Amino acid sequence: MAFTSSISSSLCKLSSQNAHSPDYNSNKIFNSRCGPFSSLHQFPICKMGYGCQWGRRKSSSTPLISASLMDVSLDKSKEKVQLPKGDIWSVHKFGGTCVGTSERIKNVAEIIVGDDSERKLVVVSAMSKVTDMMYDLIYKAQSRDDSYLSAVDDVLEKHILTAHDLLDEDDLDIFSSRLHHDINEIKEMLRAIYIAGHATELFSDIIVGHGELWSAQMLSSVIRKKGVDCQWMDTRDVLIVNPTSANQVDPDFVESEMRLKKWFSQSPSKTIVATGFIASTPQNIPTTLKRDGSDFSAAIMGALFRAGQVTIWTDVDGVYSADPKKVADAVILNKLSYQEAWEMSYFGANVLHPRTIIPVMQYDIPIVIRNILNLSAPGTMICRPSIDENEGSQHLDSPVKGFATIDNVALVNVEGTGMAGVPGTASAIFSAVKDVGANVIMISQASSEHSVCFAVPEKEVEAVAGALQSRFRQALDAGRLSQVAVVPNCSILATVGQKMASTPGVSASLFSALAKANVNIRAIAQGCSEYNITVVVKREDCIRALKAVHSRFYLSRTTIAMGIVGPGLIGGTLLDQLRDQAAVLKEDFNIDLRVMGITGSNTMLLSDSGIDLSRWRELVKEEGEVADMQKFINRVHGNHFIPNTVLVDCTADSNVASHYYEWLRKGIHVITPNKKANSGPLDQYLKLRALQRESYTHYFYEATVGAGLPIISTLRGLLETGDKILRIEGIFSGTLSYIFNNFKGTRSFSEVVSEAKQAGYTEPDPRDDLSGTDVARKGGKIVWLLCWLSVIQLTNQVIILARESSLKLELSDTPVQSLVPEPLRAAASAEEFMQQLPQYDKDMAKQLQDAEDAGEVLRYVGVVDVINQKGLVELRRYKKDHPFAQLSGSDNIIAFTTARYKNQPLIVRGPGAGAQVTAGGIFSDVLRLASYLGAPS
């Protein structure tokens, strides 16, 4: 009863004060009795002094109206002005940031005056932060924190200072008087709340609604200063809403339209400034449209006036395809359908109040989102799509318009065989959820009816789980339900687009993009309208998932985070090629390759946004740190803003190659010219290939054979199209090709080897070339590739090819004819080897002379003999008209003898050594990866 008596006495005191106020009409301000608070609902509480409309500017034609809500029993004898409706009206809504300062209020007035529409209605929010300040007043008062009094003074000072900047002396005096009057009333109401220790929803609505009243008053005065006829509207006089049980309100359009006509007959004007956010119940009790309700106000008023357009002014250029804080490449959408905007706003996109769409959609009134800070931006139009758009025009627009996410959700899964075919189970589940007041964001159920899962805000999941455990205790004990499980730490990703309904393959593209980004989907939901596909993912995967799907639907570049291991000759050349081609890839191919890390054996360079490749060498020296492979991997792959990661190993290090399996397991793609992984132990290679087949990570190694030549891809093409490989023979090493192409005439063998080393063709240690291990690795890899590809055929030929070409060879199984003289195989260094090599020139010179005498040339070749199930590497002699004898420089040549190319082998020939061509082969694999990940072909 303490609260009742304190509120009642405060109301009586307000009534007494108002009766002596010269600016208010006492019999309209408080025409109800002061009775017990329990009976407040029986009379229009808004008629007390708070809600006064403060009187519009006095004129001969417009009498002072003092009541906050218009007396519905207006004098019917007065001549009524008809309310014009239709496209002549343009509705503008300005949020708190738009009217946050005196300068911004002036800017708003300029926009309104500059609008050449015949009639204009302007809906305004409270000044920036004012609504929060008002709620804070209530919180402090009910917490019995005496600082609420000084906080009220802060609100007063904010508006007084703004008014001094905006208003002329006469208008300033009127506004200041009304403002002080309202502040005094607010203090009295807060005093009552302070005493009671509690604030009702009614009193909260009354207090927080003042901000809109004050901003509307000031803006209308500024517009009038510019010579424009302007009235301001307290929308509680017009907008009638019915509160619902879901903490929302439903507009009463019939009653609101009647009151609008009555209001306009008393205050006709071509420019009206109306308060957003606030309204009244049918009993004339003040209420609000709840948080962010000013957009809703503008849409309702637009529908009441049948306006030509509703413009929502904010501080962004329009509606983005995704949250730009999460996706840097998000783009402004030029147009959205009502349904698309509705879906995106529901799932948390910063678009509109979710219910804003409903009133305008009925009358096909477009909504335009504009940026008050960037008037040159056209913004985003929300409207009904044209017939051409619905039936499919020739434009290649993406079927997906945008993406939205909701974080901090949990999945609840109710599961059990006893649910199948039992009517009322779902009803019982969601009745229990309703009883605890939880909001169900998404529902998913399999057709087997074995389980139902749904998403709720994480803060509500404990109460939901408890309610379900209690409700289904008997079924759980009896085993009809197996569990009520909670999956915490989830996020929801919604994909929205009206054209999705008529475009096959959208779901496949969406799920493929998520899989390629190594994102696991926990639940899926899609309505039959197909406007929205919703998935639930782990919270830590949310940003990566959003980036992946955003890129996949061509709304942004296909972005790949790259880590370069080994910035030596090959790696450094690749970095330079990436630098030179970066702009072209972005502009012409929508591919954004960002090198996030470079590491050598001693030093590494890391970046969170991408290394400046124009000076990467200098940055390594200036900002490099001690190399740490684990830290390197974590930084390059740990950037959730980039969904896809590739590590490019440009070393010849077996230790680096040993990490490939671990990297692929983590969802990291691997590209390499390093031969060690594919020519190492067979069991490790088969394990690596099996992992790639089972996952969506890619392992590309085209440059391990023939540098930049398409040898691996040619072999794959032959096998995948059903050809049968009989024999592969070739000069796989550009180094050895260079040596034997130039080893002729009177030149010594050691001279040519030294020349090859100086030209950069050899391995770091020339013995790796001359020993034949380079060729052997390549030959072994092709044999293993035959085995691997043979098992993936989808017809009966799969079995045939597997039996015919499953050559599981170890490096040790391949006979190799070494060119390194036996005494030099134990040389301590490459330098020592090169110094002693001339001693053995005679042996090679004799072999060369014997070949020339027979009209032949020497060539060092690798052979994969599929028929005889073996591989070998040796020095052979070929007639001078043979293709292998026609090589020059460091060219490689490979001959594929197959069932189709039996009489005349398929030849692949081209440069097979050198940093440029090898780096080019790696670069080609990177671009192939980008294509697989969604880049346009």
- Catalytic residue of the set 78, 778, 808, 870: 778
H helices within 231-382, ranges in order?
A: 253-266, 294-305, 338-346, 357-361
Residue type, 911: P
**Residue 571 exposure: Cα atoms within 13 Å on the Cβ side:** 24
Question: Residue 245 is encoded by which pair of tokens?
Answer: 């049980």
* DSSP H or E run through 537: strand 532-538
- Is 256 in contact with 300 (CB distance < 8 Å)? yes
d(CA 736, CA 740): 6
Active site includes 880?
no
The β-bridge partners of 280 are 240, 286
User: If we measure between CA atoms, which residue out of 122, 119, 356 comes closest to residue 218?
Assistant: 122
Q: What are phi and psi of 720, to 5 degrees?
A: -70, -25
H helices within 321-396, ranges in order?
A: 338-346, 357-361, 387-391
Q: What is the three-class DSSP state of 829?
A: coil
d(CA 165, CA 163): 5
The contacts found for 439-446 with CB under 8 angstroms, 24 or more apart, are 441/406, 441/409, 441/492, 442/492, 442/523, 442/525, 442/534, 442/536, 443/525, 444/523, 444/524, 444/525
**Helices (H) and strands (E) in the chain — how many of each?**
34, 30
Q: What is the three-class DSSP state of 58?
A: coil
- Is 30 in contact with 208 (CB distance < 8 Å)? no
- Is 821 in contact with 767 (CB distance < 8 Å)? no
Sheet holding 603-606, edge to edge: 625-626, 603-606, 591-599, 558-565, 644-649, 669-671, 699-700
What DSSP line would sit under 185-239, residue for residue? HHHHHHHHHHHHT---HHHHHHHHTHHHHHHHHHHHHHHHHTT---EEE-GGGT-
The β-bridge partners of 170 are none
- Which residues are identified as catalytic? 778
